[in-house]
Amino acid sequence: MVEVFISDETRFYPVESEVICIITGKSPRECVTGRHAVVGVLKGLFGFEVIHDPHESGDGIVDDPTHACFFVPLNVADVFMNKPRQESQP
């Protein structure tokens, strides 16, 4: 997993398809950390969109996200080379 801090100077680039990630930001409710995490998608130049909030209120986060966590395959080269994943041997 790769965590990215998001600031006003963060640059986003076009993406071919939306990228699912975990985004965090200011919580709409009072809590110890003041932060809340939701499932979102990176839409490249268009920023992020919340697609699932695990809290029953569904309020998401307040303002723009402050961090994003992306799940990256362990063998990234195989993904970019379109190699099929090999099952591990017992």
For residue 10, give the DSSP letter. -
Looking at the whole model, is its pTM more than 0.85? no
**E strand or H helix at 3, and its extent?**
strand 2-5
| pLDDT, tens digit (0-9, with 9 covering 90-100), for 17-55 | 888 999 999 999 988 888 999 999 988 888 899 999 999
- The DSSP secondary-structure symbol of 16 reads S
Longest dimension (CA), the chain: 49
Q: Work out the pLDDT band at 13, boundaries 50, 70, 90.
A: confident
The secondary structure of 17-70 as a DSSP string is S-EEEEEEEE-SS--SSSEEEEEEEE-GGG-EEEEE-SSTT----EEEEEEEEE
Domain extents for the chain? Answer: 2-80
> Does 85 have pLDDT greater than 60?
no
